[in-house]
Amino acid sequence: MQMKVRFLVFFFAIPLVLADLQVGFYKSTCPQAESIVQQVVQAEFCRDRSITAALLRMHFHDCFVRGCDASILIDSRSEKASEKDAGPNQTVRGFEVIDNAKKRLEAACPSTVSCADIITLATRDAVALAGGPNYTSATGRRDGLISDPEQVLLPGPAISVTGALQFFTAKGMALDDMVTLLGAHSVGVAHCFFFDYRLSNYEGSGAPDPSMDPALIAKLNMTCARNAGATAFLDQSTSFAMDNHFFKQILLRKGVLQIDQELALDNTSARFVSGFASNEVVFHQSFAKAMIKLGSVQVLVGNAGEIRKNCRAFNAPKMKSK
């Protein structure tokens, strides 16, 4: 039986300039830039549909540390660790997709397209391929010059809505942005160690988390019993589609991560959950808007930072002339 993938495509217009970024930034310097990234992502998506979740996570983890500057891509060296070594980033993947796009872009337009823009464009294209909104991304980001694991402070899966919101407001984002972006869990997975405490001994009670559906608890217990590194889909309904079923699931107490379930239980966020669960078009519109906003967080533009030739390493220092 051939599996069918549903594609829902919406186009959203945004202003031509956003936080000094520009739509069509590479129009004259590398006109094929966006199509090259799209081709690389499409080829990977055909091979592995889970790449959408991987790129969304990479993009989020990058933007929430020093801003969207591709600092997450830097490889650690023997003498200096990078963001990749930080605990929350050790399960981030998809770096080879960025490498492949960068290699092709360097061949077509050397030292022109930033790794930060590649992450943003690749994530956008992966979202559209998974049936999410197809939105316009402004470009013109520069790559950062610092990658420090000590600066990787991200909201964890057991955090409250109030606690998580503090991370988002610190980046200039609001509650609706947070609820919307957590909708990316529609295509994500989580390792059992992120939620197994909810399955049997929640808060030392000797019983499962009462906010979780008993049938889901039984299913997850079977999944996690198989091996220590097992994972579970965060949306147990349509696991590879960027749709609104994630919000429908958490309304039914089927949130795998505690923060996901809290979205439906907390009075401040529940109204957004209900709205997205009842109207997929509204969710897609909100998701496109929130992703554009996320992509403009603390970006480097103009002469700041650099354009890396290799996304995994800072450029070699330029020799100063005497």
- Catalytic residues, by residue number, are 61
In sign, the C-alpha dihedral spanning 155, 158, 162, 163 is negative
- Indicate the residue type of 189: V
Distance CA 5, CA 243 (A): 12
Binding-site positions read: 62, 65, 67, 69, 71, 83, 155, 185, 235, 238, 243
Question: Which residues contribute to the annotated binding site for substrate?
Answer: 155
Q: Which residues are annotated as a binding site for Ca(2+)?
A: 62, 65, 67, 69, 71, 83, 235, 238, 243
Residues flagged as binding site for heme b? 185
Residue with tokens 């496109």: 288
The structure tokens listed for 205 are 């009670």
Please provide the distance, in angstroms rounded to a whole number, between the alpha carbons at the two ends of the chain: 70
HEC profile of the chain: CCCCCCCCCCEECCCCEECCEECCCCCCCCCCHHHHHHHHHHHHHHHCCCHHHHHHHHHHHHHCCCCCCCHHHCCCECCECCHHHCHHHCCCCCHHHHHHHHHHHHHHCCCCCCHHHHHHHHHHHHHHHCCCCEECCCECCEECCCCCHHHCCCCCCCCCHHHHHHHHHCCCCCHHHHHHHHHHHHHCEEEHHHCHHHCCCHHHCCCCCCCCCHHHHHHHHHHHHHCCCCEEECCCCCCCCCCCHHHHHHHCCCCCCHHHHHHHHCHHHHHHHHHHHHCHHHHHHHHHHHHHHHCCCCCECCCCCECCCECCECCCCCCCCC
Length of the chain: 322
Angstrom distance (rounded) from CA 1 to CA 216: 27
